[in-house]
Amino acid sequence: MTAKFITFEGVDGAGKSTHLTWFADRLRQRGHEVLVTREPGGTPLGERLRDILLNQPMQAETEAMLMFAARLEHIETVIRPALRRGTWVLSDRFSDASFAYQGGGRGVPTARLEILEQWVQGGFQPDLTLLFDLPIEVARQRLSANVSLDRFEQEQGDFFEKVRQAYLARCRNMPSRFALIDATLSPNEVKAALEKIILSV
């Protein structure tokens, strides 16, 4: 059976990282080798770029280019080699986050992001993307418990609503790649939804 590349997406506070850990364990119990990784990051260079991206103010388009630069390293040195070895790859965010945050949130034109996507990924896409969706007010409440907020989490106003809508638009445009998860449900209810997905991948 071929290894799959699965990405986890959603606005900050949706709870995707917790569910990612659980999802990885379930796949391992089913006998798969699983690599858990994240973006921005996932490589030594990518983690250095992450530190800059999360802390250093910059132009929106610089941000977009650095996200995709980190992604190129990640795909070529980590994701593709793992998939070739038969290892499943679960990534906490991938390029849908660039369309949602840099595109929706910051207003970088989609056409420009598509150029970067084509350059960096060619036709490479996740086999499946889990989008954890919830109203922004709920996500913000969950985040406020978190004392140190990064540059994205500190955004105000309708930034996160624009991010959410951009995610949902991608989900509508590519329904066969996406699974939409209602992140307002209790953790156990979300797990039940994920369990069904695990049985189908």
Q: Which residues bind ligand TYD (CB under 6 A)?
A: 12, 17, 39-40, 67, 92-93, 97-98, 101-102, 150, 152-153
* Minimum CB distance to ligand TYD, residue 153 (Å): 6
CB-wise, 43 or 98, nearer to ligand TYD?
98
Cβ at position 97, least distance to ligand TYD in Å? 3
Query: Could you tell me whether strands 88-92 and 34-38 are parallel, antiparallel, or unpaired per DSSP bridges?
Result: parallel
Smallest gap from residue 39 Cβ to ligand TYD (A): 4
| Nearest-approach distance from CB 62 to ligand TYD, in angstroms | 12
| Measured CA angle at 118 (ends 47, 56), to 5 deg | 30
Amino acid identity of residue 187, one-letter, is P
Q: Tell me whether residue 88 or residue 160 sits nearer to ligand TYD (CB atom).
A: 160
Please report how close the Cβ of residue 121 comes to ligand TYD at its closest, in angstroms. Answer: 12
Please return the burial class of 93, using the count of CB atoms within 10 Å of its CB with bins 0-12, 13-18 and 19+: buried
Q: How many CA atoms lie within 13 A of 127 on its CB side?
A: 15
The nearest distance, CB 1 to ligand TYD, in angstroms, is: 28
Residue found under tokens 């995707």: 16
For ligand TYD, the closer CB: 145 or 199: 145
Cα(190)–Cα(181) distance, integer angstroms: 7
Can you tell me the distance from the alpha carbon of 163 to that of 160, in angstroms, rounded to the nearest whole number? 5
Closest CB to ligand TYD among residues 61, 153: 153
Query: Which one, 88 or 167, has the nearer CB to ligand TYD?
Result: 167
- Contact call for residues 184 and 134 (beta carbons, < 8 A): yes
Q: Which residues contact 85 (CB under 8 A, 6 or more apart)?
A: 3, 33
Q: Which is nearer to ligand TYD, 31 or 122 (CB)?
A: 122
Phi, psi of 60 (to 5 degrees): -60, -35
